[in-house]
Structure 1
Amino acid sequence: MTYVRTVPLPYVDTHTTVVPAGADVVWRMIGEVMGRSFAGRGGAAYTRLVGVADRTASGPRPLSVGSTVRGFRVTAADPERELTLTGRHRFSAYTLTFRLTPESPGRTRVSAETRAVFPGPAGRLYRLLVIGTGAHAAVMRRMLRAVGAP
């Protein structure tokens, strides 16, 4: 699967939290949380339904360029600083970028920025269902809480 895009996708949102751990621990946790995302039967059914490009986990761990988790492929990785995951399905093409910034000793600010395009009438409806209802924001908040959980 090839991901080629020369201009940034339109901005959707950013969610941020401060995790009481160093960037090395946070980096590993992001990989673990992303590895569990959509991992269950419901997640598998959803990814089949929308037709995600990357349906299985593969590649090196911790996540690095070329690694995949269900729904995403790692397209940029600067360990303990920034991780960009890219994906696409029938209704959208998207990126999720995690940025880690040291806040103080043993504390790391984690920002998760989403960018996406939703082409055509089906894409607009999907955006309304996922972004417009707040479902995407709820998933992002849950994901960041999981990154910060011991």
Structure 2
Amino acid sequence: MERLSYIDQHARSIDANRDRVWKALLEVMCKDPADPSTVPGGFVLDEAAVPSRLALKGRHWFSVYALVFELDDEGANRTRIRAESWGNFPGLHGKIYRALVIGTGGHKIVVRGLLRRIAAAA
């Protein structure tokens, strides 16, 4: 996959150990939590390094993108989860698509919502 441009990062601290947050991440992001390759439509699994990194990638006519979740211990029973977004938006249609998805704040709302759901599941 081509080198992607950094878009943003959102993070949240969760009162649960890293194994539990990893399981919650898979519950929220995968159709089958036992199989990390069952990620939502529009994405394919790029990497699953249990229990620290889940990397998804995708592409369509207007963009090439990646969403990477990383989990770090903050103590015995506390984990910080980060969601980094990367993407390229080539051409005029890509520029318009980026303005609609990133520029409106919709992307930020969706990613923060995912982190809230993961925290609730943990």
Per the normalisation by structure 2, the TM-score is 0.91
State whether residues 96 and 112 of structure 1, in contact with CA within 8 Å, keep that contact through their aligned partners in structure 2: yes
Aligned Cα root-mean-square deviation (Å): 1.6
Match of 1:26 in 2: 21
Query: What is the CA–CA distance in structure 1 between the aligned matches of 2:42 and 2:73, rounded to whole Å?
Result: 28
Q: Which amino acid aligns with 2:10?
A: H
Match of 1:49 in 2: none
Structure having the larger proportion of residues in strand: 2
Structure 2, unpaired ranges of 5+: none
State whether residues 18 and 108 of structure 1, in contact with CA within 8 Å, keep that contact through their aligned partners in structure 2: yes
Does residue 61 (structure 1) correspond to residue 21 (structure 2)? The answer is no
Match of 1:129 in 2: 100
Structure 1, unpaired ranges of 5+: 36-56
Does residue 103 (structure 1) correspond to residue 66 (structure 2)? The answer is no
Give 1:91 shift.
Answer: 1.2
Match of 2:56 in 1: 85
Match of 1:45 in 2: none
State whether residues 22 and 50 of structure 2, in contact with CA within 8 Å, keep that contact through their aligned partners in structure 1: yes
Query: What is the CA–CA distance in structure 1 between the aligned matches of 2:5 and 2:102, rounded to whole Å?
Result: 13
Runs (4+) of structure 1 exceeding 6 A deviation are none
C-alpha deviations, 1:60-109, integer Å up to 9, x for none?
A: 8241xx54422211111110111100111121110011010001111100
